[in-house]
Amino acid sequence: QHILVLHGPNLNLLGTREPAVYGHQTLQDINQRLFELAASRGARCTAFQSNHEGELVDRVHAARQDSTDFILINAGAYTHTSIALRDALAAVTIPFVEVHLSNVHRRESFRHHSYLSDLAVGVVVGLGAYGYEAALQYALQA
């Protein structure tokens, strides 16, 4: 089983970026934990972060070629803006879970709408880094 974890813009700054909202773990910490969890279950986990919308679209397309079975995606602010990312996920028809570290519904109203949620298998919000782990656990048994 191959699981792809996609991280959108500004998530490369995790650890120092608004830690009260996003926590103290770095993206590397989060990815490392996911890689270990996947490995312990005999699965492969690949992570990709980009601050560029088109690169995320390209990586979703590439997932069709690299036998990705499941995608975990935190699209960051592109969640609320990107029809292109939505269309890419719809095009490849790989099941995905949408993850947000913060509870977007407790925040500004512009964070309440997601272009991805209605296509997602599920959505995890507000559980911090644990949300990725929970989503990975789900993917591993899907």
79 binds ligand DQA (CB under 6 A): yes
100 binds ligand DQA (CB under 6 A): yes
Q: How many Cβ atoms are within 10 Å of 119's Cβ, its own excluded?
A: 15
Could you tell me the two tokens for 98? 């949408």
Could you tell me the two tokens for 72? 């975990």
Decide: residue 69, CB within 10 A, 0-12 exposed, 13-18 middle, 19+ buried.
Answer: middle
Residue 24 a catalytic site member: no
Helix (H, G, I), strand (E, B), or coil: what is residue 58? helix
10 binds ligand DQA (CB under 6 A): yes
Q: Which residue stretch of 34-42, 63-71, 83-91, 95-103 sits at the interface with ligand DQA (rule: CB under 6 A)?
A: 95-103
Residue 130 a catalytic site member: no
88 binds ligand DQA (CB under 6 A): no
Q: Which residue stretch of 25-33, 45-53, 60-68, 100-108 sits at the interface with ligand DQA (rule: CB under 6 A)?
A: 100-108
Measured CA angle at 95 (ends 74, 53), to 5 deg: 40
**Burial letters for 35-60: b for 16+ Cβ neighbours within 10 Å, e otherwise?**
bebbeeeebebbbbbbeebeebbebb
Q: Which residue stretch of 60-68, 81-89, 101-109, 116-124 sits at the interface with ligand DQA (rule: CB under 6 A)?
A: 101-109
Q: Residue from 2, 44, 69, 77 that binds ligand DQA (CB under 6 A)?
A: 77
> Catalytic amino acids?
22, 100
> Which residue ranges make up the site for ligand DQA (CB under 6 A)?
10, 74, 76-77, 79, 100-102, 104, 111
